[in-house]
Amino acid sequence: MLPQEIIRKKRDGFELSAREIGEFIRGMAEKKVDDGQVAAFTMAVFFNKMNSKETTALTLAMRDSGKTLNWKGFDKPIVDKHSSGGVGDKVSLILAPLLAAFDVYVPMIAGRGLGHTGGTIDKLEAIPGYNTQADDDTFRKVVKNVGCAIIGQTADLAPADKKIYAIRDVCATVESIPLITASILSKKLAAGLEYLVMDLKCGNGAFMGNFEDACALARSIVDVANMAGTKTSALISDMNQVLGKNVGNAVEIRESLDFLQGLPVDSRLKEVTFALGAELLISCGRFKDKSEAFSKFEQAISSGRVLENFAKMCSALGAPVDFVENADKYLPHAALIKPIYAAQAGYVAAMDTRKIGVAVIKMHGGRTVFGEKLDLATGFTDFAQIGDYVDEKTPLCFVCCQNENQFETAKEDILSAVKLSQTAVKINSPLLAKIK
Ligand code: URA
């Protein structure tokens, strides 16, 4: 069938067969489907959705657009975590080396920024020399020797997703359950995982704004992944505020290093990271319950093992051997760092989290066009959390930017994104539900 006929059928609300979906995805590799047709296809799916049969067919066709990794000879569980995307979400950077401290292999294939959300691969590229496009042999060697490796999709791993992802990023077709399911799982299934935990973000900084949609996405991912042979569960976590204190690329690497060094960290970031780690390591039999997992995590971090895993992973992938000790020397710095103060004192009551993610894009920390090179130094640090009291001495956050114009735009965005209350605000757990 011609690509335009497949697009037309979905545009008009009809179900596509597995054969039609497979033809469209294969057509991308064979250059019989161009980028405009991919954009139109994703828009048609965005509006008319896909049922579970179509979603499964799309996932498997995208997985099979490249090769599937095989971990024969790796004698420990092959595990991974993936997030549906958030603002300030640096969990993968912390969790990969943490999991690797517990006798599992973590071959993590991560993504670039998508829509208003940041991407692990963009963040890692703030580390000079870190090769996010390592070849297969290097990837396997690092996973074997260190226990974890985080890289981007190589040219031959779910290449259809790589292309569709980049097109969705700039065509406003991100927030779609079948497209997110297929995007995440095509990579994860191609990576040959045995166990996966999903962090399904829910709220105004996530692709799923409300709890029902987040549960539906979680259900879709969990069902397709388990059907395809990867034991998967999902936690639904709150994204109605930035996760952790820093938002941006280099600044999130900095915050992750603080976490790995055992310095005091944001409690919500810790709760989400530990809960995801526990879920995965309980599922593959490493721990009996959450409390055992949490205390082992604390011990592993304070022993320095987790930081060492991160340092080894970075240097094995090309970063300077002393990156972790001298991170401030190596990470890019913004020319201007200035605080933003609220107009009046009060308790932080709500955030328009998406707006904060978009504010980073405006400072070139995320893309507006396909393939754009980023300014990895820009972003926000020391972001106040919901429930925190701010006044003329305690800023809402600091802006890391390159000039006064960027600062003024960011200030306007942040002041309109953060709502204050004159009375104390209840602080809720960031963990909302679990889907098995
Ligand atoms: N992460 C992905 O890999 N794909 C999506 O569509 C959303 C989050």
Q: Which of 42, 56, 181, 183 is catalytic?
A: 183
Note whether 313 and 146 are within 8 A (CB). yes
CA of 218 to the centre of ligand 1 (A): 13
- The confidence score (pLDDT) of residue 62 equals 97
Q: Which of 63, 81, 268, 270 is catalytic?
A: 81
Of 63, 92, 165, which is best to mutate to test ligand 1, by the most ligand atoms within 8 angstroms of its C-beta? 165
The minimum-distance atom of ligand 1 relative to the CA of 82 is: 1
DSSP codes, 260-298: HTT----HHHHHHHHHHHHHHHHHTTS-SSHHHHHHHHH
Beta pairing, strands 195-202 & 336-340: unpaired
How far apart are the C-alpha atoms of 373 and 228, rounded to whole Å? 36
Give the tens place of pLDDT for each residue, 157-187.
Answer: 999 999 999 999 899 999 999 999 999 999 9
How far apart are the C-alpha atoms of 327 and 332, rounded to whole Å? 9
Place of tokens 């919500």: 268
CA of 55 to the centre of ligand 1 (A): 14
Q: Catalytic: 120?
A: yes
Q: Which of 360, 363, 354 is nearest to 418 (CA)?
A: 354
CA of 169 to the centre of ligand 1 (A): 10
The minimum-distance atom of ligand 1 relative to the CA of 110 is: 3
CA of 157 to the centre of ligand 1 (A): 15
CA of 374 to the centre of ligand 1 (A): 19
Give the SS3 label for residue 46. Answer: helix
Structure tokens at 376: 């990895």
Taking the chain, what is the end-to-end CA distance rounded to the nearest angstrom?
Answer: 38
Low-confidence ranges of the chain (pLDDT < 50): none
Structure tokens at 285: 């039999």
Structure tokens at 413: 């965005």
- The confidence score (pLDDT) of residue 370 equals 81
Range list of β-strands (E), 50-110? 79-83, 106-110
Strand partners, 400: 337, 379
Give the SS3 label for residue 12. Answer: coil
Q: Measured in whole angstroms, how far is the alpha carbon of residue 396 from the centre of its chain? A: 24
Q: Catalytic: 245?
A: no
How far apart are the C-alpha atoms of 162 and 234, rounded to whole Å? 23
Structure tokens at 258: 């603080």
Q: Measured in whole angstroms, how far is the alpha carbon of residue 33 from the centre of its chain? A: 28
DSSP codes, 75-95: -S-BEEEEES--SS--HHHHH
Note whether 69 and 187 are within 8 A (CB). no
- The confidence score (pLDDT) of residue 369 equals 87
Structure tokens at 334: 């913004």
What residue type is assigned to position 172 of the chain? Answer: A
How far apart are the C-alpha atoms of 231 and 24, rounded to whole Å? 29
- The confidence score (pLDDT) of residue 371 equals 84
How far apart are the C-alpha atoms of 235 and 5, rounded to whole Å? 38
How many Cα atoms sit within 13 Å of 23 on the Cβ side? 12
Note whether 397 and 381 are within 8 A (CB). yes
Query: What are the Cα distances from residue 31, in Å, to 18, 22, 37, 179, 372?
Result: 20, 14, 11, 21, 23
DSSP state of 410: H
Q: What DSSP element (H or E) covers 60?
A: helix 52-63
Q: Catalytic: 237?
A: no
Q: Which of 272, 123, 105 is nearest to 200 (CA)?
A: 272
Pocket of ligand 1 (CB under 6 A): 84-85, 111, 114, 165, 179-180, 183-184
At residue 400, φ and ψ (nearest 5 deg) are -105, 110
Q: Catalytic: 82?
A: yes
Q: Which of 260, 272, 347, 264 is nearest to 309 (CA)?
A: 260
Q: Which of 117, 120, 154, 173 is catalytic?
A: 120
How far apart are the C-alpha atoms of 370 and 117, rounded to whole Å? 15
Note whether 435 and 219 are within 8 A (CB). yes
